[in-house]
């Protein structure tokens, strides 16, 4: 299948402002791009690209004072298959884990595992190890956290989500990731495009989406505690320990976001 994807972000800057951008598809999706996701700006500025420590495509620039628009419009091919389910995937004992997975066992900015370990084992310790345990975590988060954009705030941690029982997609993932880490399963945050392909359309504007990946049976597997069903058409942009590692834009100065539009649509030939 073919997916048209893109965004338009419009800011107002009070002065020339250094800016970090993480707005491109992940290198692992490069071969699936039928039209490249070139990053355009108005006014035009020079953007220096680099790969960060998590393997994400990033850019840095200086935004001019005043109105600054960033956009892309691209085409990507996709298998059209839902997220794979590997119910027999086993959990690795910690001494067996590859070194590169170990940072995804520790707490991080939004995944305060030290406050959640006791609750994780009390509620989910009886779930079967491996895929079954991660799925039990997703089931619990999906059933117990209420979604709503009005609950979004930049300081909300997994502990806050657990105690308040509300959040947006990133908060669902932070809590599920934290529970996985508390139970010795490496888990990392992922974000990108996820359109309403194969499901009823939602009654609110399209946004970027979050999901997470758990390391089981020698590889990373996709899970989504918010939707909690296999979905079609995920297009990865970035991965990290939590949302703090994959901020779409980071501005080193005062600014106002005055426009935000995202599109992810199946192209029917």
166-167 and 146-147 as β-strands: parallel, antiparallel, unpaired?
Answer: parallel
Residue 203 φ/ψ region, left for φ over 0, alpha for ψ in the -120 to 50 degree band, beta for the rest: alpha
Domains 2-79+247-267 and 94-245 share a fold: no
| Contacts with 103 (C-beta within 8 Å, 6 or more apart), sequence order | 241
pTM, full prediction: 0.96
The predicted structure's pLDDT at residue 205: 83
Contact 267, 74 (CB under 8 A): no
DSSP string for residues in 64-110 = PSEEEEEEEEEEEE---PBPP--TTPPPPPGGGS-GGGGGGGS-BTT
The predicted structure's pLDDT at residue 259: 96
* Per-residue pLDDT tens listing for the chain (269 residues): 999 999 999 999 999 999 999 999 999 999 999 999 999 999 999 999 999 999 999 999 999 999 999 999 999 999 999 999 999 999 999 999 999 999 999 999 999 999 999 999 999 999 999 999 999 999 999 999 999 999 999 999 999 999 999 999 999 999 999 999 999 999 999 999 999 999 988 888 889 999 999 999 999 999 999 999 999 999 999 999 999 999 999 999 999 999 999 999 999 87
Tell me the Cα Rg of the chain. Answer: 19
3-class SS of residue 120: helix
The closest alpha carbon to 26, from 222, 240, 237, belongs to 237
- Give the start-to-end residue ranges of the domains of the chain: 2-79+247-267, 94-245
Candidates 3.30.1300.10, 3.30.360.10, 3.10.620.30, 3.10.580.10; CATH matching 94-245? 3.10.620.30
Reading the block at residue 260, the tokens are 């935000």
Burial of 70 (0-12, 13-18, 19+ CB in 10 A): buried
| Contacts with 228 (C-beta within 8 Å, 6 or more apart), sequence order | 138, 139, 142
**Check: CATH 3.40.50.2000 for 2-79+247-267?**
no
């Amino acid at each position: 299948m073919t997916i048209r994807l893109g965004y338009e972000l419009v800011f107002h800057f009070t002065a020339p402002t250094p800016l970090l951008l993480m707005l491109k598809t992940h290198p692992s999706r490069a071969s699936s791009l039928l039209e490249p996701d070139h990053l355009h700006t108005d006014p035009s500025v020079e953007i220096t690209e680099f790969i960060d420590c998590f393997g994400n495509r990033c850019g840095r620039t200086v935004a001019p004072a005043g109105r600054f628009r960033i956009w892309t419009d691209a085409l990507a091919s996709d298998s059209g298959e839902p997220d794979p389910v590997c119910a027999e995937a086993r959990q690795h004992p910690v001494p067996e884990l590859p070194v590169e997975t170990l940072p995804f066992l520790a707490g991080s900015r939004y995944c305060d595992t030290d406050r959640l370990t006791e609750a994780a084992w009390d509620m989910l310790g009886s779930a079967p190890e491996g895929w079954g345990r991660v799925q039990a975590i997703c089931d619990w988060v999906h059933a117990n956290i209420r979604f709503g954009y009005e609950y979004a705030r930049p300081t909300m941690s997994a502990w806050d989500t657990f105690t308040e029982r509300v959040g947006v997609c990133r908060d669902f993932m932070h809590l599920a990731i934290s529970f996985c880490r508390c139970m010795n399963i490496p888990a990392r945050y992922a974000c990108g495009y996820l359109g309403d392909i194969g499901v009823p359309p939602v009654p609110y504007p399209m946004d970027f989406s979050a999901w997470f990946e758990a390391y089981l049976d020698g590889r990373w597997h996709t899970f989504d505690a918010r939707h909690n069903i296999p979905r079609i058409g995920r297009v990865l942009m970035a991965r990290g320990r939590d949302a703090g590692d994959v901020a779409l834009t980071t501005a080193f100065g005062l600014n106002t976001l005055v426009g935000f539009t995202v599109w992810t649509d199946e192209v029917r030939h």
